Amino acid sequence: MQEFAELLERLLLTPSRNGKLQLLTGYFASAPDPDRGYALASLTGELDLKSIKPAAIRTLAEERMDPVLFNMSYDYVGDLADTISLVWKCERGANRTPPLSEIVETLESATRAEAPRLVAGWLDGLDATGRWALLKLIMGGLRIGVSARMAKMALADFGNVDITEIEEIWHGLAVPYEPLFAWLEGKTGRPSPDISAPFRPVMLAHPLVPKADRDNPDTIDPTLITPDRFAAEWKYDGVRIQASVEGTVRRIYTRTGDDISHTFPDVLAGLNFQGTLDGELLIRAEDGEGVAPFNALQQRLNRKTVTKRQMETHPAFIRAYDILHDGTRDLRALTFRERRSVLETIVTQYGTAQLDLSPLVPVTSLQSLDAFRMNPPAPEIEGLMLKRWDSAYVAGRPAGLWYKWKRDPFLVDAVLLYAQRGHGKRSGFYSDFTFAVWKGENLTPVGKAYFGFTDEELKELDKFVRENTIDRFGPVRSVTPKIVLEVAFEGLQRSARHKSGLAMRFPRINRIRWDKPAEEADRLETLEAMLPE
């Protein structure tokens, strides 16, 4: 367990991507089975210890110290695992540090009544770093800057294989992945799990205009975009997915390979083709023709079950962009022009209410495309996708083949109203900011942002929050309303769940307007005027 704790701490404190990859590779090489397999499951979100929940762990801490003092400490630190690891009062006893595998396997077989006692004993035998790692392991949500894909990239480096080889078999592997590690160490052949309708790693695009130069027209090379070299499609505001059908098995994957089939049985029922399609998961608008706002899709996402009523009120469908396999052959080595021809045939033959074809946008000149980008035919379109006609379907983000050219973001000046501590390496800073605009003579919250600022700006904002707190609501601080934030966002829609009646899409802090008085911030009417007609 101590080795896993040291790994997590070093990952948290290592800012560079390559540094994190080296740490992961080194751990996979030195840790024994099955410890490294359970560590991998924790890093990729595949570990679910159901015998104990965060509420039970918090109760343990409150039993060891005064609950009021604990709540004050939690309010100050802002992270449950961080707080308990620091304030835990150990009891003397025959405590020892068990290996990671023993902890996981014991909790997997423990009852909910037994688990708290076991966890308390382990906390007594660990130092502060070990306690923190144990709690992160149990509660999930590591927040150490390591994604599931990064963990798989480290595996690929460790075994000197291509990451696509790992991604293609990932869903057929079981924790603690001993056959996977045996293959990567050259002890056995590549595992061949029996996976029907497998996931195939997706191809991603680069932004056509670098974020830092979004307002600079010189960043676009006009000679790049010509009808003979590039095709254009609408970039819809949904969720990128892959639909795979083999025999009677039908699956829907996210672009990172998560299987979300159980959440969309209505879509699965409409997939009558054989093969693998790449597309966008969307919700049909009430008129039965258009696309509903992203907020409607959110009502269907991340649910363990979906009701008949939800499927009726929020009918989902796939808008197909590409085809990777036609049921008999792998098409990824073909050009996009060739794959598009096959895709059109497939959708024409097997299209349903749950599957249609993404239309192509005419490519005539850069100026006309720019006009399409900024004024798409529907508000649910974020911009354009540009794809080279001669591009093969290459996993990852290859250079020079696919580009995304999104609309310029909306901007609004809002007043900082509330702040909350962040998580992970930001747990010592107030980094989650709720902002508001004027409605009459009062400020009404319209969104929350936790990125877009530099480290130096974060320190300045944190200092302001500490010095200007006027009230507290648990971990949230209310501050004097005098700092104006320029907030950028991708879209706006009506929402009955928000007090303002509006919901922003991807809000982030564009800059801090230290020069602007709060009285000059925007009004709710300004945002309402931005709503799509």
pLDDT tens-place values along the chain, 533 residues long = 889 999 999 998 888 889 999 999 999 999 999 999 999 999 998 898 888 988 999 999 999 899 899 888 887 777 888 899 999 988 876 567 789 999 999 999 999 999 999 999 999 989 999 999 999 999 887 778 888 889 999 999 999 999 989 988 998 899 999 999 999 999 999 998 888 899 999 999 988 865 555 555 555 666 778 899 999 999 998 999 999 999 999 999 999 888 899 999 999 999 999 999 999 999 999 888 889 988 889 889 878 789 999 999 999 999 999 999 999 999 999 999 999 999 999 999 999 999 999 999 999 888 899 899 988 998 889 899 999 999 999 998 898 899 999 888 889 999 999 999 887 667 678 999 999 999 999 999 999 998 888 888 999 999 999 999 999 887 789 999 999 999 999 888 888 878 888 888 889 999 999 888 899 999 999 999 888 76
Both tokens assigned to 212 = 């830092």
Both tokens assigned to 294 = 């992203």
Residue by residue, what is the 3-state secondary structure of 30-49? HCCCCHHHHHHHHHCCCCCC
What's the sign of the alpha-carbon dihedral 443, 448, 450, 452?
Answer: negative
d(CA 468, CA 337): 59
**14, 77, 196 from 456: Cα distances, Å:** 18, 20, 50
What is the model's pLDDT at position 472? Answer: 85
Closest CA to 294 of 240, 252, 243: 240
In which element (H, E) is residue 309 found? helix 308-313
* Cα 257 from chain centroid (whole Å): 12
List CB contacts of 151: < 8 A, sequence separation 6 or more: 24, 40, 43, 44
400 φ/ψ sector (left φ>0, alpha ψ -120 to 50, else beta): left
**By the 8 A CB rule, do 99 and 38 touch?**
no
Reported pTM: 0.75
**30, 98, 154, 303 from 24: Cα distances, Å:** 10, 21, 6, 31
Rounded to the nearest 10 degrees, the angle between the axes of helix 128-139 and helix 54-64 is 150
Tell the CATH topology of 410-528. OB fold (Dihydrolipoamide Acetyltransferase, E2P) (2.40.50)
The amino acid present at 132, given as its one-letter code, is: W
* Cα 131 from chain centroid (whole Å): 27
275 φ/ψ sector (left φ>0, alpha ψ -120 to 50, else beta): left
Provide the CATH number for the domain formed by 206-406 in this structure: 3.30.470.30
Q: Which ranges of 329-488 does DSSP label H, i.e. alpha helix?
A: 336-350, 366-374, 455-467
d(CA 166, CA 153): 9
Q: Which ranges of 395-492 does DSSP label H, i.e. alpha helix?
A: 455-467
**Fold matches, 206-406 and 410-528:** no
Residues paired with 284 in a beta bridge: 291
Q: If you search the block for the tokens 């540094």, which residue do you land on?
A: 19
**By the 8 A CB rule, do 468 and 481 touch?**
no
d(CA 128, CA 134): 10
What is the model's pLDDT at position 71? Answer: 85
In which element (H, E) is residue 5 found? helix 2-13
SS3 462: helix
List CB contacts of 511: < 8 A, sequence separation 6 or more: 485, 486
Q: What's the CA angle centered on 136, arms 135 and 139, to 5 degrees?
A: 80
* Cα 412 from chain centroid (whole Å): 25
**By the 8 A CB rule, do 342 and 362 touch?**
no
User: 71: buried, middle or exposed (CB in 10 Å: 19+, 13-18, 0-12)?
Assistant: middle
In which element (H, E) is residue 406 found? strand 402-406
**By the 8 A CB rule, do 242 and 369 touch?**
no
Residues paired with 95 in a beta bridge: none
Extended beta strands in 135-228, E state: 206-207
Q: Which ranges of 78-162 does DSSP label H, i.e. alpha helix?
A: 80-87, 100-109, 115-125, 128-139, 148-159
Both tokens assigned to 429 = 């800073």
| Other beta carbons within 10 Å of 441 | 5
d(CA 296, CA 499): 18
Domain residues of the chain, as ranges?
2-139, 206-406, 410-528
d(CA 3, CA 137): 13
| Other beta carbons within 10 Å of 226 | 12
Which CATH number is 2-139's, of 3.90.470.20, 1.10.3260.10, 1.20.58.2240, 3.40.50.1000?
1.10.3260.10
Q: If you search the block for the tokens 């909306």, which residue do you land on?
A: 410
What is the model's pLDDT at position 219? Answer: 58
Closest CA to 255 of 207, 197, 199: 199
